[in-house]
Amino acid sequence: MQTQVVRAAVCLVVMLAVVHSACAVEESVLDAQRRRVEVVRKVASSVVAIFGKGGQGGGSGVLVSPDGYALSNFHVTRGAGTFMKCGLNDGVLYDAVIVGIDPTGDVALVKLLGRDDFPYANMGDSDAMKVGDWAYAMGNPFLLATDFQPTVTYGIVSGVHRYQYPAGTFLEYADCIQVDSSINPGNSGGPLFNDDGDLVGINGRGSFEKRGRVNSGAGYAISINQIRYFLDHLRSGRIVDHATLGATVTTAEDGRVIISSILESSEAYRRGLRLDHEIVSFAGRPIRSVNQFKNILGIYPKGWRLPMTYRHEQTKYEMMARLRGVHRQTELMPERRPEPNPDEKKPDDGKPGEKKPEEEKPKPKPAVAKPPAEQFPEKYKHMFVRKDGFSNYYFNKQEQDRLKPLLDSWGDYSGEGGTWQLAGESADSEAFKLTLATKGLGLDLNGEPFYQALDGSDFADEPAGSGGLLVALHHLKLLLTKGSEGFSEYYYLGSEPLDLTGQLVDVIVTSLEGVETRWYFSRPVMDGEQVRFPAAFVGFSCQLQEDRDECEVYFATVRKFGNRSFPGEMVVRVGGREYLRLLVENFNPAASRDDD
């Protein structure tokens, strides 16, 4: 009897332990559920339902700023039109306008209108995502969100750093995130969140080919880190392009990634890269395969200058190379290609003196009715401005205006278009005198003269090897005295890392008589909520001709000369090396107001 009591007591203890354990597991499951619900609740208000023209078709997006900027896919906004309707889970349908597009990366930026306090998603670090991490995909699949409440699917990260080749289109998904969270038609452009509710990607593509237009368990999101590089370019209202090195790579027999072809006009070639050289690293990331190189190269905008390490005969070399564009501008605007003119005369392919038979003459093509002009909301139609090369020039003008005060802070140069004189010495204690007149430019450097006429003749690299310093300083004078009116083209490019510091700077691009110049404006450096260093005009680079090394001029110091500011020390660089350093001691922008 005593033995049975003992056994019963033991069984009871075991049962209580099992029940306690079950309760503990159940509580942890409930905690996980509560956490998921809280994450979804927190981020759902930032998810956008995008509706196409006339309510036909649509997709998804996500707000990334309180003033209404939202990310989506290019292929979603292309069908939605210039102005579109966007719904949020507050039940309100908002007007929205296209801002900038990236046809290659399949990204678009739109702006929701009517508020300046939109709920928005916090951008995370997509490079921190690991296989097996939880991921939420949210959006408007099959246009189910007619009440603007986003659909949520939950799954894991199946792969990272995936490369998706273009499939009959420009759309190239580089370094993207693969997830098994259900992604269906309509999810395109919607957000991918990590388990903390941080935005890590924009859903855009699925492996539908063999399973029909339904989820196959393999969806792909454009990484938010890639989009970060393009975000300022998209805010410029431009049609942006991705980068290429101007070279192709292949895998050698021993597994090395080597150069298989290279354009001699590319900056990489000018920096010493040649056939069969091994790529060791690019943009600070090691290169171990061709696929990895394509992944890394594909996430950067055209025109960025990035570091690269290559090996030749067991010796490593480091360089900075400005990246070329993948496409011609006309390729990025297929809808603007000129249609063939049926009335245009074609060369006669008959024999000389032989009359072509009447029946062989090309018949004119029937007229094709043009679609009706897009109707813009009267209240917002001023927010769309057409211009070649731009998806919406209105927003480029906004960015230009944002940077203008940084130039105005140097003082009023508007009446000083005559002769400028600068004097001082170089870092090597060589005396210099610089004259910028309306008919010519002159530099006397330690008794050696250099001259560039401004009479329409070709611009020269004066002094030789400087990349065209005299022309570069002439353009600085034009910028200060005439602003945008001094150039045939003037636009906000976006941002790019500055060579000397690696920090992102805003870039204005100007063109005049074939010379292109990039003007660099630093951003505020913050210390907590305090501004440690304010935004400033910090330098520029001037290129006399395409595919030639630029004359880069950086302002080491800016000082007051009377009631105006001007560089007190200018560092001139060419081809990645310092060419000259000028210490300006005297500056007179009013030496003469005549056409000297």
> What are the boundaries of each domain within the chain?
47-235, 243-325, 409-592
CB 387 within 8 A of CB 505: no
Closest residue by Cα to residue 361 from 349, 353, 378: 349
Q: Among all chains, which residue has been given the structure tokens 């670090």? A: 125
> Does residue 320 surpass a pLDDT of 80?
yes
pLDDT tier, 499 (very low <50, low <70, confident <90, very high otherwise): confident
Calpha distance 150→142 (Å, rounded): 11
CATH number of 47-235: 2.40.10.120
SS3 content of the chain, % helix, strand, coil (to 5): 20, 40, 40
Q: Phi and psi (nearest 5°) for 429?
A: 65, 30
Task: Write down the pTM of the prediction.
Answer: 0.86
Select from 185, 191, 224, 226 the least CA-distant residue to 205: 185
CA dihedral 336, 342, 345, 346 (to 10 degrees): 80
- C-beta atoms surrounding 506 within 10 Å: 22
Banded model confidence at residue 356, pLDDT cuts 50, 70, 90: very low
Please name every residue paired with 285 in a beta bridge, in sequence order, or none if there are none.
282
Structure tokens of 538? 């910090």
Averaged confidence pLDDT in the chain: 86
Q: Looking at the DSSP assignment, which residues form a beta bridge with residue 179?
A: 157, 219
Which carries the bigger pLDDT value, residue 528 or residue 96? Answer: 96
Measured CA to CA, the distance from residue 452 to residue 349 in angstroms comes to 50
Continuous segment of H or E residues that includes residue 372: none
Residue 362's pLDDT is: 45
CATH of span 243-325: 2.30.42.10
Position 354 scores a pLDDT of 39
Instruction: Please give the Cα distance from 108 to 79 (Å, whole number).
Output: 12
Strands 324-325 and 564-574 come out as: unpaired
- Tokens in use for 211? 């399973």
Can you tell me the distance from the alpha carbon of 76 to that of 108, in angstroms, rounded to the nearest whole number? 8
pLDDT confidence band for 185 (50 / 70 / 90): confident
Whether the CA torsion 227, 228, 229, 233 is positive or negative: it is: positive
Neighbours of 168 (CB within 10 A): 5
CA-closest candidate to residue 163, choices 148, 154, 173: 173
Order the strands of the 504-512 sheet from edge to edge: 448-453, 440-445, 431-436, 419-426, 577-592, 564-574, 551-561, 536-543, 515-522, 504-512, 489-497
What mean pLDDT comes out for the span 128-149? 87
Contacts of 14 (CB under 8 A, 6+ apart): none
Catalytic residues: 75, 106, 188
- Give me the pLDDT at residue 355, please: 38
Least confident window among 8-17, 18-27, 483-492: 8-17
| The Cα angle at residue 394 between residues 388 and 400, in degrees rounded to 5 | 100
CB atoms near residue 433 (< 10 Å):
14
Helix (H) or strand (E) holding 33: helix 2-44
Maximum alpha-carbon separation in the chain: 128
